[in-house]
C-alpha cells in the first residue's frame, strides 16, 4: 500500500511539473511587455528597464523557468504584475470564494443528482426515467454563462427574491463586520455566530451555486442510474430481492452502495472542472474568486498571475485524483495489486 501511494505521489509531482513547464511556455508566448505594464503607463524607458531587471525578465527563458520552478518549491510564486503583490497571497485571498462556490454547487448537485438517478433506475423505461434522463442531459448541455444571466434576470431583477451580485450585502459590514477565519464567508459567519451576515452570504450564494451545479447534477444522475442498473444483476442484489426486501431498500441501500465508488471518482474530476466553470460565472455575479482574478490577469497579460492560477488549479486537480486513487485502493485491493 505504501509503495502504491508513493508511486502515485511521484507521478502526481511529475504531472504538476509538466503543467508548469507547458503553462510557462504558453504564457511567455503571450504578446506584450509585462515590464511596461508593471511600471505603469507614464513610466520612462529607464524605469521600464529597471522593472525588467526587477522582475527578472532580462534573463534567458530557461533560466527564468529554472528559478521559477525553484521558487515554487519554496513557496515563492513570483509577483503579480497587475496587483504588485505576491501571487501566492493573491491566490490565497481569491481561492476561498471560488472553493465555497464549488463546494456549495457539489452539495446541491449530490442532493439533486443522486436521488434522481436512483428514481430513474428504479422505474427504468417509464416516463419518469425518460424525464430524468432528458433533464440530466439538459443539465450537462447548459451554457452556464447564459444560465447565470437568465437566473439573475428572473430572480434578482424581476422577482427580486435573490440578490443580484456579490458575496454579501456590503452595508452589513458596518453593523456586523465579518471576521476572516477560513476565508469562506459562509463558514466564517457561521463559526463567529454572525447570524445576519450568515443569512446574507447564503442568500448571495444560492444563484451562482445553482448555476455551477447544473453540470455535476446531470452527471451524477446519469452515473448513479447507469451504475445502479449495472448492479441490479449482481447475485447479492438478487439475493436481497429474493429475501423479500422492498424495492426501495434494494435500490437505496444495496445497489447504491456499489455505485458510490465511481461516483466518488467523478466528484474528484468534476471538482476541478467546476472550479474552472466558476470563471464564467464569477464575472456575472461579481464573485471575488479565482475567476475574476484570472480574468483580470489575462486582461493585463500578467504572466506570473496566469501561471499561478494554472498551477493552483492543476494542484487541486491532481491532489483530488490522488485522494480518490488512495481511497479506492484502500477500499478495493484489486486496484493496488493489479
Partner 1 sequence: MIEVPVAPSAAALPAGRALRQRIAGNPLMVAGAILVILMVGAALLAAVLAPFPGDAGTATHPFAVLRPPSAAHWFGTDQVGRDVLSRVLYGARISPLIAASVLLMACAIGLPLGLAAGYFGGWLDEVIMRITDIFLAFPALLLALALAAVLPASLTSVTIAIAATWWPWYTRLVRGQAASVAGRPYIDGCRALGISRRRIIFRHILPNAITPLIVQISLDFGGVILTASALSFLGLGAQDPTPDWGLMVSEGQAYFTTSWWVVTFPGLAILIAAFAFNLLGDGLRDLLDPKTVDAATRPKRSVLR
Distance between CA atoms of residues 247 and 15, nearest Å: 45
Distance between CA atoms of residues 323 and 9, nearest Å: 10
333 binds partner 1 (CB under 8 A): no
DSSP state of 77: -
Distance between CA atoms of residues 146 and 155, nearest Å: 14
Distance between CA atoms of residues 84 and 86, nearest Å: 7
Distance between CA atoms of residues 160 and 172, nearest Å: 19
3-class secondary-structure state, position 93: helix
- How far is the CA of 69 from the CAs of 90, 215, 249, 315, in angstroms? 19, 35, 53, 14
182 binds partner 1 (CB under 8 A): no
Three-state helix/strand/coil letters over 224-260: HHHHHHHHCCCHHHHHHHHCCCCHHHHHHHHHHHHHH
Query: In angstroms, what is the minimal distance from the CB of 155 to partner 1?
Result: 13
Pick from 92, 138, 161, 191: which binds partner 1 (CB under 8 A)? 138
13 binds partner 1 (CB under 8 A): no
Considering only residues 32 to 91 of the shown chain, the ones binding partner 1 according to CB under 8 A are none
Query: In angstroms, what is the minimal distance from the CB of 327 to partner 1?
Result: 16
119 binds partner 1 (CB under 8 A): no
Pick from 30, 63, 92, 323: which binds partner 1 (CB under 8 A)? 30
Query: In angstroms, what is the minimal distance from the CB of 136 to partner 1?
Result: 9
Query: In angstroms, what is the minimal distance from the CB of 210 to partner 1?
Result: 16
Alpha carbon distance, N-terminus to C-terminus of the chain: 12
Distance between CA atoms of residues 318 and 333, nearest Å: 22
- Cβ-based neighbours of 336, under 8 Å, separated by 6 or more: 1, 4, 329
Distance between CA atoms of residues 122 and 2, nearest Å: 40
Pick from 53, 85, 130, 180: which binds partner 1 (CB under 8 A)? 130
Stretch that binds partner 1, among 41-49, 86-94, 196-204, 304-312 (CB under 8 A): 304-312
Q: Would you list the DSSP string of 270-286?
A: HHHHHHHHHHHHHHHHT
Pick from 102, 186, 210, 314: which binds partner 1 (CB under 8 A)? 314
Query: In angstroms, what is the minimal distance from the CB of 46 to partner 1?
Result: 30
| Per-position x/- string for 141-180, each x denoting binding to partner 1 as judged by CB under 8 A, each - no binding | xxx-xxx-xx--x---x-----------------------
Considering only residues 263 to 292 of the shown chain, the ones binding partner 1 according to CB under 8 A are 265-266, 269-270, 272-273, 275-277, 279-280
Question: Which CB atom, from 256 or from 280, has the smaller least distance to partner 1?
Answer: 280
Query: In angstroms, what is the minimal distance from the CB of 280 to partner 1?
Result: 6
- Return residues touching partner 1 (CB under 8 A): 11, 14-16, 18-19, 22-23, 26-27, 29-31, 124-125, 129-130, 133-134, 137-138, 140-143, 145-147, 149-150, 153, 157, 219, 223, 226, 229-230, 232-233, 238, 242, 262, 265-266, 269-270, 272-273, 275-277, 279-280, 294-295, 298, 301, 306, 309-310, 313-314, 317-318
Amino acid at each position: 500500500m505504501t509503495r502504491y501511494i508513493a508511486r502515485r505521489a511521484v507521478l502526481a509531482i511529475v504531472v504538476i511539473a509538466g503543467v508548469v513547464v507547458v503553462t510557462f511556455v504558453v504564457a511567455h508566448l503571450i504578446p506584450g511587455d509585462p515590464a511596461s505594464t508593471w511600471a505603469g503607463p507614464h513610466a520612462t524607458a529607464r524605469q521600464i528597464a529597471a522593472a525588467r531587471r526587477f522582475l527578472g525578465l532580462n534573463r534567458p527563458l530557461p533560466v527564468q523557468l529554472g528559478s521559477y520552478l525553484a521558487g515554487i518549491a519554496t513557496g515563492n510564486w513570483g509577483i503579480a504584475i497587475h496587483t504588485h503583490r505576491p501571487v501566492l497571497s493573491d491566490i490565497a485571498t481569491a481561492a476561498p470564494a471560488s472553493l465555497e462556490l464549488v463546494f456549495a454547487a457539489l452539495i446541491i448537485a449530490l442532493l439533486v443528482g443522486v436521488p434522481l438517478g436512483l428514481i430513474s433506475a428504479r422505474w427504468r423505461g417509464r416516463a419518469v426515467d425518460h424525464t430524468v434522463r432528458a433533464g440530466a442531459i439538459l443539465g450537462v448541455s447548459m451554457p452556464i454563462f447564459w444560465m447565470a444571466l437568465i437566473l439573475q434576470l428572473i430572480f434578482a431583477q424581476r422577482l427580486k427574491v435573490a440578490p443580484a451580485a456579490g458575496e454579501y450585502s456590503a452595508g452589513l459590514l458596518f453593523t456586523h463586520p465579518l471576521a476572516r477565519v477560513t476565508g469562506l464567508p459562509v463558514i466564517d459567519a457561521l463559526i463567529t455566530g454572525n447570524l445576519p451576515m450568515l443569512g446574507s452570504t447564503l442568500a448571495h450564494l444560492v444563484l451562482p451555486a445553482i448555476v455551477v451545479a447544473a453540470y455535476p447534477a446531470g452527471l451524477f444522475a446519469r452515473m448513479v442510474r447507469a451504475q445502479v442498473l449495472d448492479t441490479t444483476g449482481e447475485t447479492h442484489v438478487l439475493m436481497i430481492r429474493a429475501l423479500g426486501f422492498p424495492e426501495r431498500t434494494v435500490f437505496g441501500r444495496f445497489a447504491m452502495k456499489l455505485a458510490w465508488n465511481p461516483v466518488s471518482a467523478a466528484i474528484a474530476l468534476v471538482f476541478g472542472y467546476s472550479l474552472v466553470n466558476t470563471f464564467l460565472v464569477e464575472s456575472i455575479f461579481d464573485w471575488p474568486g479565482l475567476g475574476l482574478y484570472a480574468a483580470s490577469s489575462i486582461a493585463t497579460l500578467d504572466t506570473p498571475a496566469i501561471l499561478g492560477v494554472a498551477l493552483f488549479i492543476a494542484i487541486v486537480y491532481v491532489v483530488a485524483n490522488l485522494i480518490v486513487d488512495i481511497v479506492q485502493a484502500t477500499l478495493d485491493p484489486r486496484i493496488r495489486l493489479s
